[in-house]
Amino acid sequence: MKLLFERSRSGRKQTLIPDCDVAEFSFDSSLLRTNKPNLPELAEVDLDRHYTALSHETFGVNTGFYPLGSCTMKYNPRVNEAMAALPGFTELHPLQPESTVQGALEAIYRTGKLVSEITGMDDITLQPAAGAHGEYTGLMLIRSYHASRGELGQRTKIIVPDSAHGTNPASAVMAGFTVVSVPSNEQGGVDLDALRAAVGPDTAGLMLTNPNTLGLFDPNILEITKIIHDAGGLCYYDGANLNAIMGHVRPGDMGFDCVHVNLHKTFSTPHGGGGPGSGPVGCKAFLAEFLPKPQVKLEDGVYKLFDPAQSMGKVRTFYGNFLVVVRALSYILTLGKEGIPEASAGAVLNANYMMNRLKDYYTVAYPGLCMHEFVLDVGPLKKETGISAMDVAKRMLDFGYHPPTMYFPLIVHEALMIEPTETESRETLDEACDALIQIWHEAHENAEMLHNAPITRTIG
């Protein structure tokens, strides 16, 4: 496809600018350009066709199956977009007086209350703009807590399992902590003996995803959080995989003190294009005084802004990515109390269905029931045929599917992590499984073709 600059022809226009009725003003010549800007010149039809053609080359949940593990690429209902496009939301200015934005403040307040209820937290901030941003904010809550007790100089270490998201240790370091990694046991959960050996008076806290990145729910979760609490540390829940348990189990009931939630994953707001996202951070009551400012409260029927007593300050301009919050509120209210757990059940069912269809061909890294996602180990196939996880993923492009997450988690060396989400039909799952099974046969019959994949898909 040619670039706009390659299609440009001098003098070709796409707009007609009316005569200017503003009085001329002479600028100092040193401020003026001496040559024309290098901009493409095209007719409107050429510009329209160019970007329409580009749109056909992109991929998203609206164009096909997107089983990107640990990313929860579920379908985003159009009604959420309609709500976020209401002029009463889009035409606001963040510096307007509180009395003129009561509807927006109510949306923030209600979303916070609903997400707090779903996660088992007492309070929440909606300021963080993404998951890792939420991690950092949660760790700053932990840091503020230990500082308030005069223990920050002593409690310097954050414990992170080896199956954790890559951003967990990065966020811990950004927050000023030292990372201590603990290994997984043979079942894919946290090794309790290693955890007990790792904790001590220098333990600030634990970062944990449950279910973890292997798609497994750790049955020892209550013992894990107790070990940390007995050592004087706090427990942080990475909500990246909340879609597997929402409405069934609450992080707060597992013993977690703070949690971040990805509205752009679990609560169905568009993502995958670099933003905007939203990573609210909820906490138990004893941490609420450290939350970022401002917070929203309801007092005598009026929504008001206030600053928590020992607030860590701002972590985002104004109130965070507000329109993402509106989309999430629309999603939660649409599903309701009955629909939220049904969505999670569907996500778990779909993942187990795919895993069971594929297990006779690919090696499942950790056999047994999974939660919302599962990990295939392509290592045995590579040893037998030379075909790697990368080869399988590239070949999937030819079938019109986005590849699964590759080579993650790191403890499975030839990993393909598959998360189908609850919004896919059985027919879609079967078609994707058929493609993966065909690729398995091709690995044994025509490995060289797979090395050269994608064959038919345009990339660039």
Q: Locate the domains of the chain by residue range.
A: 78-335, 338-451
Quick one: average pLDDT of 33-58?
Answer: 89
Query: What one-character DSSP code corresponds to residue 190?
Result: B
Quick one: average pLDDT of 101-113?
Answer: 97
Q: Please provide the CATH number assigned to the domain covering 78-335.
A: 3.40.640.10
Using pLDDT thresholds of 50, 70 and 90, give the confidence band for residue 57: confident
Which run of H or of E encompasses 262? none
Residue 368 structure tokens:
């047994």
Tell me how many degrees the CA angle 70-76-81 measures, rounded to the nearest 5.
135
Using pLDDT thresholds of 50, 70 and 90, give the confidence band for residue 19: confident
Using pLDDT thresholds of 50, 70 and 90, give the confidence band for residue 274: low
Using pLDDT thresholds of 50, 70 and 90, give the confidence band for residue 276: confident
Quick one: average pLDDT of 35-42?
Answer: 89
In the predicted model, is pLDDT for residue 65 greater than 70? yes
What percent of the chain clears pLDDT 90, i.e. is strictly above it? 85
Looking at CATH, the fold of the domain delimited by 338-451 is given as Aspartate Aminotransferase, domain 1 (3.90.1150)
Measured CA to CA, the distance from residue 254 to residue 236 in angstroms comes to 11
Domains 78-335 and 338-451 equal at CATH topology level? no
φ, ψ of residue 6 in degrees (nearest 5): -75, -25
Write out pLDDT tens, residues 324-343. Answer: 999 999 999 999 999 999 99
Q: What single letter denotes the amino acid at residue 185?
A: N
Q: Return the exposure string of 75-114: e unless at least 16 CB atoms fall within 10 Å of the residue's CB, then b.
A: ebbeebeebbeeeebeeeeeeeeeeebeebbebbbbbbeb
Write out pLDDT tens, residues 120-162. Answer: 999 999 999 999 999 999 999 999 999 999 999 999 999 999 9
Using pLDDT thresholds of 50, 70 and 90, give the confidence band for residue 59: confident
In the predicted model, is pLDDT for residue 278 greater than 90? yes
Write out pLDDT tens, residues 361-403. Answer: 999 999 999 999 999 999 999 999 999 999 999 999 999 999 9
Measured CA to CA, the distance from residue 243 to residue 254 in angstroms comes to 16
User: What string of DSSP letters covers 331-378?
Assistant: HHHHHHHHHHHHHHHHHHHHHHHHHHHHTTTSEESS-S--SS-EEEE-
